[in-house]
Structure 1
Amino acid sequence: MDAKEIKRIQKRKKYKGIGFVLPWLFGFTIFALLPSIYSFYMSLTDWGLVGPNEGFIGFRNYVTAFQSSDFWNSLSVTVRFVIWAVPLGMAASLTSALILNSNVKGVSIFRGLNYVPTLASGVAIAVMWGWIFSPHGGLLNMIIGVFGFHGAWLFDPKLVVPSYIIMAVWGAFSGFLTYLVAIKEVPRSLIESSRILGMGYFERLFKVTIPLMRPILIYNFIMAIIGGFRKFSDAYVLGGAGDSGKFYMVYFYQQAFGNFRMGYAVALAWILFVIVMSLMLIVYKRTPFWEYYSGMKKKKVKKHVRKA
């Protein structure tokens, strides 16, 4: 085979690769890239669903948002929720995975039951929690009433965000699957070696298992942050103690479909996009996410475990 034939084969493979990519590239351009560009243009207009529009207004929507107390309040509520719900939810999911990883007879049944809540709709779960948190005859008040306590929960400005955090942590227990897979991917040889070295369960957990789960932990951390900032369904259904329970997405929805200020709402969406992307860049910058331990040499893995 001469050099010309080799080049011809390489070009044919290159064109085949481009041909396979083109359908995805076409779909991405039509359904993602162009709508994103147009939505940014919409954020620079006074577009409303009803009534007259001024057209292009520049960055006035962004200035209006930063000068709005409702904007800062909704962002503050959401940030406080994310700060508490994300680490507590991850801890709940990891705990659930560790429990369900045990070699107990019938544990597969409990795995299935633990996953059931994810099949229910967000509205149905919100209605259930609305009954639990009800200040009049709610399940939670019935339980703590035995000890002489009572709470208004969703109707108390001081308890509304903690109430939603409790809901998030409960929901996180069913998000154990990725953690369970990561636990099972930890090399058995390292677990046995740690036992030979005399490590107890918790020492082995924090020095061997969790360090080797880092890629999954960071992935779930990122997804939890995104989900926290996008919290909407239960917050919209249940509401809260006035503005104390108004999350960012609820404020966005009210501006878009309540006040029909679509241009302003799109500006709010872009502000949220910048906030979330900034957090993601910080996470990627500060965390060695791309380390893939299964492909490492044993010495490198053991070195990392010793550092942990």
Structure 2
Amino acid sequence: MSTGQLTDQAAGTGTAPSSPSRPPAGTTRRPPSLRTRRARAFYVFTVPWVLGFVALTAFPLGYALWLSFTNADGLSQNSRFVGLDNYREVFTDPETMDSLWRTGVFTAITVPLTIAAGLLLAVLVNQPIRARGVFRTLLYLPAVVPPVGAALTFKLIFDRDSGSANGVLDIAGINGINWLVDPYARWVLIVLTMWAVGNGMIISLAGLQDIPRELGEAARVDGASPWQSFTRITLPLLSPVIFFQVVTGIIGSLQSFMPLLIALDPTPRGVTAVPESNYFYMINVFAEYFANGRYGYASALLWVLFAIICVVTFVIFKLSKGAVFYSVEPEQAKPKARTIGGVR
């Protein structure tokens, strides 16, 4: 039937022909909208991260949480549910509490020292001196060394028989010291921690360079001394940077594991050879996992440490409200204007 006949038939009956359910052949589909394309790109780029997070973070955390309620030893398949017994043992085990105390003392010593040393170096290399870029590079260079390599290097330096530290003492006529045992092992660990002070220097330097110079010049015009300018202008404006270093430094120190690499006995007998002063919380976890085979108890130790870090971080954030000054305050929600009868 031709098109003219269809038109005549439609005109005679008074009804129009029904539109086809599918678009005619040869027509192009409407391209996806910008919002759809952005959504597709978002999921394409986030799927690898989500898969990695689930496989490498969420699943291990969940599995460790389940292990903490069992007596699993990593070898036997017949592990049983023990409830909160592992967590009760954590808070009643003297060795665990002593290791937690040593870790806390180490954190209380190293975090302020590292922040203060980094800030001091940042102030020095921020001065208008010649070749300050070279000094910045040399001071930051130790922080580039991988932690494992730095720890092994320090172990060689402080070796009792062939270490360079005892070589210097021999030149001065002092008998060699066994640095890697008590009571000297803790000081070697503190020196190793201060070795990477360049990280804190770079962070503090970035904060110093963000402070307007006009403030210091105005303070000098008003007769303020350099110390007064530093304590009343520089430090308050630098408080967000210091706060960041305090939080990250405490979290890192509580998870410190480097003593295991530098404080072993010269004739290693496993993790039990770590000097008592350097037997930290994470080393106790390592010993329970691999030396004692108590996977359930070690998992409980890790979750207790996670809870301690969360509590400490929460307390620090609460205490920082009156001590940290931000140059830009967070935006506050503006109250909506009331309307009467639809008219403001």
Task: Report the TM range for the smaller structure's normalisation.
Answer: 0.7 to 0.9
Show structure 1 runs of 5+ residues with no match. 1-11, 297-308
Shift, 1:188, TM fit: 1.6
Q: 1:50 aligns with which of 71, 75, 87?
A: 75
Q: 1:189 aligns with which of 214, 231, 243?
A: 214
Counting helix residues as a fraction of each chain, which structure ranks higher? 1
1:89-123: CA deviations, max 9, x gaps? 11111111111111112111121222222222222
Larger Rg: 2
> 1:6-155 alignment to 2 at 5 Å?
20=42, 23=46, 30-31=54-55, 32-33=57-58, 35-136=60-161, 138-143=163-168, 146=172, 148=174, 151-155=177-181
Percent identity, aligned pairs only, is 26
Shift, 1:280, TM fit: 0.6
Show structure 2 runs of 5+ residues with no match. 1-33, 266-273, 331-344
Shift, 1:39, TM fit: 2.6
Aligned residues of 2:143 and 2:197 also touching (Cα < 8 A): no
1:206-260: CA deviations, max 9, x gaps? 1111110111100100111011111113433433763222111111112122322
Q: Residue 200 of structure 2 aligns to a residue in which SS?
A: coil
1:272-296: CA deviations, max 9, x gaps? 1111111111110010277421569
Q: Residue 114 of structure 1 aligns to a residue in which SS?
A: helix
In structure 1, C-alpha distance between the alignment counterparts of 2:231 and 2:225, rounded to whole Å: 10
RMSD: 3.1
Aligned to 2:327: 293
Q: 1:37 to 1:238 in 2, by over 3 A?
A: same
Task: State the structure with bigger RCO (CA 8 A, min sep 6), 1 or 2.
Answer: 1
TM-score by length of 1: 0.80
Q: 2:224 aligns with which of 199, 203, 206?
A: 199
1:174-221: CA deviations, max 9, x gaps? 431111010001122211111112222222111111110111100100
Q: 1:212 to 1:27 in 2, by over 3 A?
A: farther
Q: 1:33 to 1:174 in 2, by over 3 A?
A: closer
In structure 2, C-alpha distance between the alignment counterparts of 1:73 and 1:55, rounded to whole Å: 29
Shift, 1:267, TM fit: 0.6
Aligned residues of 2:142 and 2:198 also touching (Cα < 8 A): no
How many residues are aligned here? 284
Aligned to 1:166: 191
In structure 2, C-alpha distance between the alignment counterparts of 1:214 and 1:100, rounded to whole Å: 19
Q: 1:295 to 1:80 in 2, by over 3 A?
A: closer
Aligned to 1:265: 298
